[in-house]
Structure 1
Amino acid sequence: MPATASTPPLPHPLGVVAARDGSPGADVAVLAAHADAVEVCVLGPDGTEVRTRLPHLDNGVWFGRVPALTVGARYGLRTHGRWDPELGLRHNPAKLLLDPHARGIVGQIALTPEIYGHRVDAELRGDLTVPDDRDSAPFVPLGVRLAPPSADLRPREDERPRVPWSDTVVYEAHVKGLTVRHPGVPEAQRGTYAGLASPAVVEHLHALGVTSLELLPMQAFASEIALRRRGLVNYWGYNTLAFDAPHPTYATEAARRAGPEAVRDEFRAAVAALHEAGIEVLLDVVYNHTCEEGPDGPHLSFRGLDEATYYLRDAGGRPLDVTGCGNSLDFSHPRVVQFALDSLRHWVSDYGVDGFRFDLMTTLARTRDGFSPDHPFLVALAADPVLAGTKLVAEPWDVGPYGWRTGQFPAPLHEWNDRFRDSVRRFWLTDAREIAAGHHAPVAAGRGLRDFATRFAGSADTFDVARGRLAGVNFVTAHDGFTLADLTAYDRKHNEANGENNRDGSDSDTSWNHGYEGVDGDVARARARGVSQRNLLASLILSTGVPMLTAGDEFARTQGGNNNAYCQDNEISWVDWELDDEQRSLLEDTRALLGLRRELAVLREAGHGPGVPPREQRTDLSWFGADGAPMGVDRWHEADRRTLVVVVDAGGRLDADGVPLASVLVVVNAGAEAAEVVLPAGGAWRPRWSSVADRRSRPVAAGRGVRVAPWCLRVFTSV
């Protein structure tokens, strides 16, 4: 039945939608379950407001028609009701609040007392018992009602790359940092959404072998007050303000001048262009907390609307923070689950995004009794028809009680595998450092070799085999921590630029500076560091699981030893594309390794399908010692064993064209001395790659020995 002038508004969807009777106004629905009234305030160019009180209330949602909220209008919300912060009641009509579902925003947050819901002194410490009657409207961001996008920018399902997990190579990058210094990107597009899809960037990703570009947070975010006071900003973006709007400052200057619709369309166009190039777009999303900080933080959106519903509180009613960011959203409440799902669908349906990496996802799966793999939010993700087929990746921990949950999330979620990161770093760096110094304690009882083999084989001790061999997203580095180059150049963090007296950031980066802290120009040391970098990259790319690279690691980007560059929007964090000879050499090796992974199907098999054992028995993997004899139980426990041969057997299978699949043999010598390694039976083996320069290319017969340099990983394929 068509809408008419008498068609009543509805309490759903939440946010702003075009009036159902076709009038210029909008229907608005706002969750404010504990408020006595909610006003929608439309602001004119001179700051004057047209206020409309929402007349209807249903199940905690205030809703109604707002005639003044036409396309392009700027607006905010005001709530009336009880002020009792101890109960999560912070209704203060003096504070103009951002619609949590706003799809476009304008304005910036100023560090002034007026943005708080309570009185604050010069040091920004407030008396929560006293509401503040100063109007915050001039100091806060505003929502903007956007016009529908043009038809040519609406995403189409048939244009999605839909890369299988078995072929996926994730590349984690920062929207600005990736391109702001790239000489091949047009100057006006550097550091922007448009720059992501520029031919120079696409060419690099293609040549490297990347299938899926994962962007650090680009939902509109704000900088923490403590950072602003130190003259810094939140560069990474894990401090979300508007979950349905792209961050405005990542758009080109022309788009920013044109307004929120142009910002939206620029990101849409970038996604479409990347899709056309066959590259998926994944978003790093932060639904675990908001930018409103702790209990004495600013009133910008959620806190002033319905803190008692949105934010997590303990059994005694006190605010509970399991994220370490000042607040945590309460996913035990159905409305919070609804909010996150609505937002995810928006990015998939309206922008064409291909998947998400969920920051601190344990928070999103907490009930009143703690983490649950059957949490309603996880069930809804698995069952949602809009999100079906998207890539969903959990960061499987938070800082709350029993927060580390790697391996415990259900399908279809994949998970960041921090065990892979830690084991591979220890094996090639910290254990190697001790061995090079003549110490053996870190590898007592063969821990290093066993752990390394377990990670190489897919971490079956961590992930339920029913989820397949690709449940883990393997990584050696991420945005958080040392870069690959810095792992091999620093034993200690150097975060002085962050203004926290080097107290911030991890104190355990499992790194090895190879005898000197920083860069000293020593050629031999630089060469040794390059070998370690290649060993780490080869372990990542050749292992079972989904590999994730951090932007710039492919050519040894450095942050000068800063392992927590979250507040460094400058050359410390930005990718430098001016490469020296050694960086170009590493880039070529990274491309070669990813080319081998793409070529060799046995490295990418998911472990699903007929004939796969119900338990992980990896009959396609065989392990041998340097003498060519199989690794028995006793050998795995030999404390000084650092040489290993693994064969990934194709079993005589054929590819789609009837060509026999190649088997793969990997030799690992993680010791300080060269090793004579006998290649196991199975035919001849052709050298394909080595982390230490080796010009030999002729096949080696099974049963013959090859000399393997210290700290070396070599790859062979069957002939």
Structure 2
Amino acid sequence: MPAPLRPRRSLETPPPLGVTMSVLGTEVAVVARHATAVDLCLFTEGSEKRLPLRRTAHGIWWDLVPDGALVPGTRYGFRVDGPWDPHVGHRHNAAKLLLDPYGQAVDGWVHWEPEVYGHVVDGRDQHDHDTRDDRDSAPFVPRSVVVDQAFDWGDDVAPAVPWSETVVYEAHVRGLTMRHPAVPPHLQGTYAALAHPAVLEHLTGLGVTTLELLPVHAFASEAALVQRGLRNYWGYNSLGFFAPHAGYAAANDPQGVVDELKGAVRALHAAGIEVLLDVVYNHTAEQSSHNGPTLSWRGLDNRTYYRLDDRGRDIDVTGTGNTVDLRDPLVVRMVLDSLRHWVQEFHVDGFRFDLAPALARGDDGYRPDHPFLVALQTDPVLSGAKLVAEPWDVGVHGWRTGQFPPPFAEWNDRYRDTVRTFWLADTGRSLAGQPGHGVRELATRIAGSADMFAAADRGPVASVNIVTAHDGFTMADLTAYETKHNLANGEDNRDGHSDNRSWNHGVEGPTTDVAVLEARQRSVRNLLATLLLSTGVPMLVAGDELGRTQGGNNNAYNQDNSTSWLRWTLEPWQEALLGDTRALLALRRELPVLRPATFPTYEPVAGRSRLRWYDESGHSVSDEAWADPSRRTVVALYDSLHEVDDRQAVVLVVHGGLDAAEVVAPEVHGVATWRVRWSSTGAAGGAPASGAVAPGEPLQVGATSFTVLVGALEG
């Protein structure tokens, strides 16, 4: 059913931005605050027709267009004239064809001429971008496309998974599906593949609730990558905030691309899986104004869209050359309109915001009361979506973990670093006879990071616990490499993080040593168990449940090949690891005491889990033990035995020692027996080595191990 026409009365005020239908007819509007003229450019069979936009107010140019000029399938763009004065930030140039920032589909790609890769502008060589280049860019850039957003959603219903039950699965459209043997070859690597029964079965069988997709906004590869025979794989190089990336579609027409992604969301919802989009609003594919291309925003209104210094140059807090300036209301409006577009037209359930502090910087840095964040908190559409911040950027004072307002959740890098340090870096130090970091901070992270997220009643569900992400080592590589191996990226191994807190277990990279391989696999299971059973919201990265390796590449942003794609033909140890992951997530679902929405307390409090910490002798951990950097064992006891319903008691035995140990099972009133439900030293799928232990009796745990006990209640 087509959308109802907008009730416009006159053309005196601007319509919504982009291409819209109203009772007056088809209207087009674009922000170009400093322009002197704006032309709408229509393309048919290689010809270009220009229609001047005759109306302007409030920084917006708009007009009615003739009937049939902007019907679905029409390719179009803009040309903008105005001042060229780079030293104050003006870079208008009518020779440059510009994409519509509100364009809902993109046809074609940015073409870079192969013989010139110095400073590239619109596929043309320009060694001084402060000098205007009047060559026509139209042959080198894509077009915006009008599409019909009508779609048969059937009985689609958002899964609406509570945060306390959420398990995020971060995946790349191509990486997840490109080599799946059950997906037909012509669908591999596409949106359609996400809807394939075999892919859905893997997600539901694993037990994840929420698929977080790396960027699916239209994006472009950088000229420097193309020069090296590579391309941008991750997609953090936005070309359009309203259009899906066509390269991920089996369909070969813009309308088909839009419909295919909607079909994937519909199928995921039918399987009970939410969809979050990783969105990149902090910068664009135009990169630096000094030597980057003019593709859209820069040619429309460079001073409005980007943060500039007093010389008209980009202020870069993103590390990519430019920063979108959300101090301007029209720019805030664009981002909010884009977010609503994806919720309302594509039915997505939420967003992960790349480099989120860059979106909330005022004149003096990050502001938790920034208008953009306030708008998200109050918007009737967006305030109900799941909002996740990557709480850092590369600008001054850019680390802001724990400082975003509700309803945001945040990637918890402190959790990542602490868990890696305990299980990997400190284990390596122990072998060398060096002290580690003890268990105090590990316990804080397992308990939900109250030191970071208790303010404003945000609760532990504000912490998205991560051990790995797309950026960095895979979980298997954390146990096999101590240094990055990124030569394939073409940057002489200079790119990527150097502080990985990994441990190669004595051998760098592949090995046939059985003992080393077994130790690595146990370390992966320890990392998985900690991640999936900690208080907070776990995020599992696609392939970690299969032991996926990138060969030590910890920055595979340009590796659109077998380095990044999941391999679905599994060896026995990988099948076992998959079984362990399923078993751990089944335990998480079974034991709500481990996933409270509010922070656990020490004393019994109605409606809240209770959490106490013990040492290996069965006594409460002393202040001296908490401060001991050599301590490698701690026992967490979660219980809700004070409740009338859902009475549970669970023990997590975390033992990082190099030798097996004896740990006394806690004595708790109401628990008759502790049953060993999972152990990282057990058989495939977490089958325990021993069955049960009485309260107050010793339990043998293996070296560097994680063990789960569940209380069998008296009576």
State TM-score, norm by structure 1: 0.93
Indicate which of 18, 22, 26 corresponds to 1:15.
Answer: 18
Q: How does 1:347-366 map to 2 (within 5 A)?
A: 347-366=342-361
Query: How big is the shift at 1:113?
Result: 10
Task: Indicate the residue corresponding to 1:461 in structure 2.
Answer: 451
Q: 1:308-354 CA distances to partner (integer Å, 9 max, x unpaired)? A: 00001235543200000010001111111101000000000000000
**Could you tell me whether the CA contact under 8 Å between 2:159 and 2:269 is conserved in 1?**
yes
Change (3 A) 1:129 1:533: closer
Indicate which of 506, 514, 532 corresponds to 1:515.
Answer: 506
Secondary structure at the aligned position of 1:131 is classed as coil
Task: Indicate the residue corresponding to 1:566 in structure 2.
Answer: 557
- Could you tell me how far apart the structure 2 residues matched to 1:119 and 1:569 are? 23
Query: How big is the shift at 1:537?
Result: 0.5
Code of the aligned partner of 1:395: E
Indicate which of 693, 697, 700 corresponds to 1:704.
Answer: 697
Task: Indicate the residue corresponding to 1:278 in structure 2.
Answer: 272
Code of the aligned partner of 1:16: V
* 2:480 pairs with 1:489: yes
Q: 1:200-244 CA distances to partner (integer Å, 9 max, x unpaired)? A: 011111111010000000100000111111111000000000110
Q: How does 1:186-205 map to 2 (within 5 A)?
A: 186-205=184-203
Q: How does 1:152-301 map to 2 (within 5 A)?
A: 152-153=152-153, 159-252=157-250, 255-256=251-252, 259-295=253-289, 296-301=291-296
**Could you tell me whether the CA contact under 8 Å between 1:115 and 1:300 is conserved in 2?**
no
Q: How does 1:416-427 map to 2 (within 5 A)?
A: 416-427=411-422
Count residues with an aligned counterpart: 697
Change (3 A) 1:306 1:589: same
Task: Indicate the residue corresponding to 1:143 in structure 2.
Answer: 144
Query: How big is the shift at 1:129?
Result: 3.8
Secondary structure at the aligned position of 1:541 is classed as helix
- Could you tell me how far apart the structure 2 residues matched to 1:688 and 1:378 are? 43
Change (3 A) 1:120 1:332: closer
* 2:329 pairs with 1:326: no
Query: How big is the shift at 1:9?
Result: 7.1
* 2:591 pairs with 1:600: yes
Task: Indicate the residue corresponding to 1:60 in structure 2.
Answer: 59
Query: How big is the shift at 1:673?
Result: 1.6
Task: Indicate the residue corresponding to 2:42 in structure 1.
Answer: 42
Secondary structure at the aligned position of 2:29 is classed as strand
Query: How big is the shift at 1:638?
Result: 2.1
Query: How big is the shift at 1:375?
Result: 0.4
Q: How does 1:420-439 map to 2 (within 5 A)?
A: 420-439=415-434
Code of the aligned partner of 2:442: F
Secondary structure at the aligned position of 2:696 is classed as coil
- Could you tell me how far apart the structure 2 residues matched to 1:626 and 1:483 are? 32
Secondary structure at the aligned position of 1:159 is classed as coil
**Could you tell me whether the CA contact under 8 Å between 2:650 and 2:708 is conserved in 1?**
yes
- Could you tell me how far apart the structure 1 residues matched to 2:385 and 2:5 are? 34
Change (3 A) 1:10 1:578: farther
Secondary structure at the aligned position of 2:40 is classed as strand
- Could you tell me how far apart the structure 1 residues matched to 2:6 and 2:323 are? 40
**Could you tell me whether the CA contact under 8 Å between 2:682 and 2:689 is conserved in 1?**
no
* 2:680 pairs with 1:680: no
**Could you tell me whether the CA contact under 8 Å between 1:9 and 1:63 is conserved in 2?**
no
Code of the aligned partner of 1:289: H
Q: 1:584-627 CA distances to partner (integer Å, 9 max, x unpaired)? A: 00110010000000000101111189x99999x98711111111
Secondary structure at the aligned position of 1:126 is classed as coil
* 2:692 pairs with 1:689: no
Change (3 A) 1:9 1:275: farther
- Could you tell me how far apart the structure 2 residues matched to 1:121 and 1:27 are? 28
Change (3 A) 1:529 1:5: closer
Code of the aligned partner of 1:250: Y
Code of the aligned partner of 2:696: G
Code of the aligned partner of 2:55: H
Q: 1:509-529 CA distances to partner (integer Å, 9 max, x unpaired)? A: 111100101111111111100
- Could you tell me how far apart the structure 2 residues matched to 1:281 and 1:115 are? 40
Secondary structure at the aligned position of 2:440 is classed as helix
Task: Indicate the residue corresponding to 2:619 in structure 1.
Answer: 629
Task: Indicate the residue corresponding to 1:80 in structure 2.
Answer: 81
Change (3 A) 1:618 1:314: farther
Secondary structure at the aligned position of 1:470 is classed as helix
Code of the aligned partner of 1:17: T
- Could you tell me how far apart the structure 1 residues matched to 2:633 and 2:458 are? 31
* 2:631 pairs with 1:644: no
Secondary structure at the aligned position of 1:326 is classed as coil
State TM-score, norm by structure 2: 0.94
Task: Indicate the residue corresponding to 1:661 in structure 2.
Answer: 647
Secondary structure at the aligned position of 1:422 is classed as helix
- Could you tell me how far apart the structure 1 residues matched to 2:13 and 2:22 are? 10
Query: How big is the shift at 1:555?
Result: 1.2
- Could you tell me how far apart the structure 2 residues matched to 1:83 and 1:3 are? 37
- Could you tell me how far apart the structure 2 residues matched to 1:21 and 1:148 are? 20
- Could you tell me how far apart the structure 1 residues matched to 2:153 and 2:635 are? 51
Secondary structure at the aligned position of 2:616 is classed as coil
- Could you tell me how far apart the structure 1 residues matched to 2:206 and 2:516 are? 26
Query: How big is the shift at 1:168?
Result: 0.2
Change (3 A) 1:673 1:186: same
Change (3 A) 1:377 1:196: same
- Could you tell me how far apart the structure 2 residues matched to 1:640 and 1:196 are? 46
Change (3 A) 1:614 1:523: closer
**Could you tell me whether the CA contact under 8 Å between 2:122 and 2:295 is conserved in 1?**
no
Secondary structure at the aligned position of 1:127 is classed as coil
Indicate which of 391, 398, 418 corresponds to 2:393.
Answer: 398
**Could you tell me whether the CA contact under 8 Å between 1:115 and 1:298 is conserved in 2?**
no
Indicate which of 517, 526, 531 corresponds to 2:517.
Answer: 526
Query: How big is the shift at 1:662?
Result: 1.8
Task: Indicate the residue corresponding to 2:408 in structure 1.
Answer: 413
Query: How big is the shift at 1:125?
Result: 4.7
Secondary structure at the aligned position of 1:275 is classed as helix
Task: Indicate the residue corresponding to 1:670 in structure 2.
Answer: 656
- Could you tell me how far apart the structure 2 residues matched to 1:265 and 1:579 are? 33
Query: How big is the shift at 1:402?
Result: 0.2
Change (3 A) 1:153 1:505: same
Q: 1:6-53 CA distances to partner (integer Å, 9 max, x unpaired)? A: 95375131111125334xxx20111000000100010111x2221111
Change (3 A) 1:122 1:707: closer
**Could you tell me whether the CA contact under 8 Å between 2:599 and 2:608 is conserved in 1?**
no
- Could you tell me how far apart the structure 1 residues matched to 2:266 and 2:545 are? 26
**Could you tell me whether the CA contact under 8 Å between 1:114 and 1:135 is conserved in 2?**
no
Secondary structure at the aligned position of 1:507 is classed as coil
Query: How big is the shift at 1:643?
Result: 1.1
Secondary structure at the aligned position of 2:451 is classed as coil
**Could you tell me whether the CA contact under 8 Å between 1:7 and 1:20 is conserved in 2?**
no
- Of residues 670-679 and 632-641 in structure 1, the stretch that sits farther from structure 2 once superposed is 632-641
- Could you tell me how far apart the structure 2 residues matched to 1:360 and 1:564 are? 16
Query: How big is the shift at 1:119?
Result: 9.1
- Could you tell me how far apart the structure 2 residues matched to 1:389 and 1:121 are? 40
**Could you tell me whether the CA contact under 8 Å between 1:115 and 1:139 is conserved in 2?**
no
- Could you tell me how far apart the structure 2 residues matched to 1:97 and 1:113 are? 22
Seq. identity, %: 56
Query: How big is the shift at 1:4?
Result: 10
